[in-house]
Amino acid sequence: MQRDRWSNRAAFVLAAIGSAAGLGNAWRFPYMAYSNGGGAFLIPYFVALLTAGIPLIVLEFSMGQKTQRGAPGALAKVGRKFEGFGWWAVLSGTIITSYYAGIMAWAWDYLAGSFTLGWAEDAGAYFYENVLQISSGPGTLGGFSTPVLIGLVITWIAIYFILRNGAESVGKVVLITVPLPVLLMAILVLRAVTLPGAIEGLNYFLEPNFAMLTNLSVWIDAYSQVFFTLSLGFGIMIAYASYMPEDSDIINNALITVFANSGISFMAGIAVFGTLGYMAQAQGVPISEVAAAGVGLAFVVYPNAISLLPGGSFVIGFFGFVFFAMLLSLGIDSAFSIVEAGVAGLKDKWGGSKKKVTLYYSIFLFVVGLLFATKGGLYWLDIVDHYVNTYGLVVAGLAEAVIIGWFYEPDELRSYFNSVSEYQFGNWWNVMIKFIIPIVLAVLLVNAFITDIGTQYGGYELKYLVYGGWIGVVGFLAVASYIISRQKGIED
Amino acid sequence: MSGSAIVMLIFACVVLYGGLFVTLRRAMKSRKKED
């Protein structure tokens, strides 16, 4: 069967950048830098990029391009017994997309709210009462939140129509969805740096505290940030690279993706901290009191900061619209790329029409994601997100590095990607794949495991962590990966 | 903005956007060669 192909190299690179640059670039990196030594965080961050991010993304591009298969098929070509780890990666992505689409649903609601300024009076109340209609805890699902359900339907329709024609339609969409958030972010940066108090905010973001570099947790955070920001361990980069001809440049494509993705994160840091500096000054409080990350930053703190902008309701609505349109355009590439990783794995294994596989897979993920559209959905999202990021993705990345480093000849893969690339990597790449990346990811894993055993994540009751995290995520990944990998496919 | 914050700003811009510029230029040159 003829494999999907990108229309050109630019389409592939843009799709890879779009996948890597997601919501985390806007809401995770700025806070990570601020809380880990400000500007000094850039040093461990760049070290982590060089020693883990770049080697691992080159590994994923090479595996996909060389084998012309998605993650499960690519690992099966190394050894049949390794296919399960490919499914582990793909299924981790499956879980993530199911709630990632829910987060995008909130952004649709806020985007619509930019016309009525629904969130401008009190973004916290708007988020918890109007959008989520939040219940008392994970034990009370409380039915669906209608605004979230509507947003979820819109998100899945968009994902399906973008993916239904494969690399061809994705290649066209990313021409818009990758430059658009950068342009919108540039508007936010320009507004942020011209606000009173912005300089104080940027000082918090960039002023280096080099003493923090002696702290091990800063280095752990830098490596985890690099690992998550590049969409590694999902099998996405393997699937995308499998649609490239075998003789395409690998190293330069990987470097462009890495620099562009980190450049977007840095830009987001300037937009966020410039605006928070203004907010802190306007409210007469220190920046440490308004600085936040994740959902709280995007849906409560930042909208509150926008609502304080001078210029009246048109300006507030305009910048709110720009911000949420940026979040949506950042998120949509990441969401459909994860779905595509699953579609590629399923098609490689059992064949079938691209449109049908995409449709059924999207419907399945939409149905699973309905849990996160309930009034108790935020609690479950928080639990599932913690476990799938901590154990799903890190185990997948660790497995990739160990399998290629120890069960496959890394020199052979390096010879391959060097032979098709303009830049060349030396023996240091083997050292990173065999030793540094497995050690770093094992440290992340053990560190998280010890924390999870010692304290109940998020203060949730143990039964919810067991059902949602240990059984719902870790148990599901282990059992489903094993069972799927044991099934006969079209190539067996 | 403090001096040390400006230094880190320049450092990040040179590494990230400089790196992006160099790699993009290289990719464009190789495309011209292929054409």
Per-residue pLDDT of A370-402, as tens digits, reads 999 999 999 999 999 989 988 888 899 999 999
The pair of three-digit structure tokens given for residue A168, joined into one six-digit string: 């061809």
Query: Which of A231-235, A422-426, B8-12, B23-27 bottoms out in mean pLDDT, i.e. has the lowest?
Result: A231-235
CB atoms inside a 10 Å sphere around CB A403: 20
A45 three-state secondary structure: helix
Q: Which residue among A9, A42, A207 sits closest to B12, beta carbon to beta carbon? A: A42
**pLDDT band for position B33 (50/70/90)?**
low
Q: Give residue A389's pLDDT.
A: 87
CB A13 within 8 A of CB A257: yes
Are B8 and A207 a contacting pair at CB < 8 A? Answer: yes
Domain of residue B20, residue span: 1-35
Mean pLDDT of chain B: 89
Query: Nearest-CA distance from B2 to chain A in Å?
Result: 7
A262 three-state secondary structure: helix
Structurally, chain B folds into a number of domains equal to: 1
The pair of three-digit structure tokens given for residue A257, joined into one six-digit string: 């993706």
CB A177 within 8 A of CB A332: yes
Phi and psi, residue B4, nearest 5°: -70, -35
Mean pLDDT of chain A: 91
On the question of pLDDT at A3 being above 80, the answer is no
**Residue A492 touches partner B, C-beta closer than 8 Å:** no
CA distances from A417 to A49, A304, A337, A424 (A): 19, 48, 23, 8
Alpha carbon A218 to chain centroid, angstroms: 20
Q: Which residue among A46, A249, A262 sits closest to B30, beta carbon to beta carbon? A: A249
Domains in chain A, start-ordered, CATH in brackets? 9-486 (1.20.1740.10)
CB atoms inside a 10 Å sphere around CB A314: 9
Q: Give residue A360's pLDDT.
A: 93
**pLDDT band for position A31 (50/70/90)?**
confident
Q: Which residue among B8, B19, B23 sits closest to A39, beta carbon to beta carbon? A: B8
Tens of pLDDT, residue by residue over A73-103, are 999 999 999 999 999 999 999 999 999 999 9
CA distances from A256 to A20, A251, B21, B23 (A): 11, 9, 9, 6
Q: Give the single-character DSSP code of A374.
A: B
ipTM value greater than 0.85:
yes
**Residue A248 touches partner B, C-beta closer than 8 Å:** no
**For residue B5, which residues of chain A lie inside 8 Å, CB to CB?**
38-39, 202-203, 205-208
The pTM assigned to this predicted structure is: 0.92
Q: Give residue A444's pLDDT.
A: 87
Closest CA to A468 of A368, A361, A363: A368
Which amino acid does the sequence have at A65? Q
**For residue B34, which residues of chain A lie inside 8 Å, CB to CB?**
none
Q: Give residue A67's pLDDT.
A: 93
**pLDDT band for position A462 (50/70/90)?**
very high
On the question of pLDDT at A24 being above 90, the answer is no
Task: Report the pLDDT averaged over residues A317-325.
Answer: 93
**pLDDT band for position A1 (50/70/90)?**
low
User: In terms of CA atoms, which chain B residue is nearest residue A200?
Assistant: B1
